[in-house]
Structure 1
Amino acid sequence: MILRPALSALAALLIGAAPPQVQPAPPRPQVATPAPAPVPLFRVEVVARYPHDASAFTQGLVWHDGSLFESTGKEGRSEVRHVALADGRVLMRRTIPAAQFGEGLARYGKTLVSLTWKDGIAYRWDATSLKPMGTRRYPGEGWGLATLGDTLVLSDGTPALRFLDPETLAERRRVSVTLRGKPIDQLNELEVVDGQVFANIWQTDYIVAIDPKDGHVTRIIDAGALTREVAARDPDAVLNGIAWDARHKRLFLTGKLWPTLFEVKLVPVQ
């Protein structure tokens, strides 16, 4: 698993273990409170494998009308793409200005909306032709983006999920994402799956499912089997890319610079 030491406490929280302590804290009087309910843990089981462009620094992934749309990052290499599932071929692409770092992607109606990391600029694209359809500004950083009903959901690396007007990108509300009462940050790529917001935790093998009403984590998904299979040597080649085919109930996962896109099913861990 590609995991920086600074994230070890986060990973321990995700899998329910106690994080390492440098020095034991002095005992304090304890107030009896109900123990938090356990969060179900799932693993991924591969259903199918498809080719994926190993040079794509995947930031966002969307299933729409029988194929995939993908946004890629890095200055000078950021694009929005229409991609064939069967062979990974790029059917159409549009570039983002070279000085900008492309981020998350979502579909709303007949358009696609893509983010930029630090520029606060969102691009709107025609979902059929990828023709540019204008820009909007939003405050702060842009990481992941997904569509929930008549709202766009944006992550920015903090524990917050922002719920935005899809036309103006004005913020309607926000929630803080928590796991057993503790905030979870590094929320990156987003996708809505059966009403839950799935969020990739950057630089880990984990995806969390989030209740959009209050932000609490409802389940944890360990996708480590995929990163072990890919066995990437580049430390930037981490899990990132979630797409949901709602009609056929198919879940697709990939990563930055991965040569494979996986169709998976979720299996409870006993």
Structure 2
Amino acid sequence: MRARVAVLLAVLLTAACSWSPGTPATPSDALASPPAGVARLHVQVLGTVPHDPGAYTEGFELSADGRTLWESTGVTGASQLRATDPTTGAVRRAVGLPSSQFGEGVTVLPDRIWQLTWKDGVAYERDPLTLAVRRTLRYDREGWGMCHTPSPPGDVITSDGGSDLVVRDPTTFVARRTVPVTLGGAPLDQLNELDCSDGRTVWANVWRTDDVVGIDLAGGRVTAVVDASGLRPPSTASDPEAVLNGITAIPGAPGEFLLTGKRWPTTFRVRFGP
């Protein structure tokens, strides 16, 4: 099934891709010239699919069977959790957050969905079938990105815009441990949207840059920096908020990811390489 879904994605997404990069965000010197032992990678575009240019993307995750692309959007008064079609970008279902809240990361387990809010101090556990809220938990950090490792038993991983990743129990959401993230021995902050589907490496967008970093989950060391500056659509050049923010591995297609950004009109299917 997973192989068949991967083939379907490849057929429907692969297309002739032509675009001119917009004005990229400026990465820090450490990201632009990573230290010895940290790979500097680039993206190979394999295909594209439409993305809602009105979506202020905060959470981005393909379901385990590859049939649903879940997206959590931000902006107070307009935040949603969406189930979208990964081959067309069309929104199949959507549920809004309270108008006072700013939606952030999302991760979807077989029996529950976790969704973060930014500065509202709450995390939601939702029913994966109805999207209804089952529990509202107090959350003692800012909510940014989120992902989960393979289960069972699995972990939920969260970021808060700093240089730490927090490993959480997937059922209770209680913190199990904190992983300080370092690049060349120095803390790397602004960690945002996450993918951790292989259980070993966390791929993290670095906010306000066009870079994705690969982090060894066991020790927190950045092992790779991916330059994705060529993806930024020219239509977003005048929008400083329209930064890269959305990464999810494609089930059944090892080494392939979907990448998008806030208010981007396009999602890119990519592979990382030299």
Normalising by structure 2, we get a TM-score of: 0.85
Match among 255, 258, 273 for residue 267 of structure 1: 273
Query: Which stretches of structure 1, 4 residues or longer, exceed 3 Å deviation after superposition?
Result: 228-232
- Give CA-to-partner distance per residue, 1:190-228, whole Å, 9 cap, x none: 111432100100010000000111100011111001015
- SS of residue paired to 1:14: helix
Say how many residue pairs are matched: 245
Return the alpha-carbon distance in structure 1 between the equivalents of residues 226 and 235 of structure 2.
18
Contact 2:168 2:176 in 1 (8 A): yes
Return the alpha-carbon distance in structure 1 between the equivalents of residues 164 and 229 of structure 2.
25
In the TM superposition, 1:1-270 aligns within 5 A as: 1-3=23-25, 11-16=28-33, 37-64=36-63, 65=65, 66-149=67-150, 150-194=154-198, 195-227=200-232, 231-249=236-254, 250-268=256-274
Normalising by structure 1, we get a TM-score of: 0.86
Contact 2:58 2:103 in 1 (8 A): yes
Larger Rg: 1
Give, as a single letter, the amino acid of the residue that structure 1 aligns with 2:267: L
List runs of 5+ in structure 1 lacking aligned partners.
Answer: 18-35
- SS of residue paired to 2:202: strand
Quote the offset at 1:99 in angstroms: 0.4
Quote the offset at 1:88 in angstroms: 1.1
Quote the offset at 1:165 in angstroms: 1.3
- SS of residue paired to 1:13: helix
Quote the offset at 1:71 in angstroms: 0.2
- SS of residue paired to 1:174: strand
List runs of 5+ in structure 2 lacking aligned partners.
Answer: 1-22
Counterparts in 2 of 1:11 and 1:193: CA distance versus 1, 3 Å: farther
Percent of aligned pairs with the same amino acid: 42
Give, as a single letter, the amino acid of the residue that structure 1 aligns with 2:59: G
Counterparts in 2 of 1:214 and 1:13: CA distance versus 1, 3 Å: same
Contact 2:244 2:261 in 1 (8 A): yes
- SS of residue paired to 1:48: strand
Give, as a single letter, the amino acid of the residue that structure 2 aligns with 1:204: T
Return the alpha-carbon distance in structure 2 between the equivalents of residues 67 and 39 of structure 1.
33
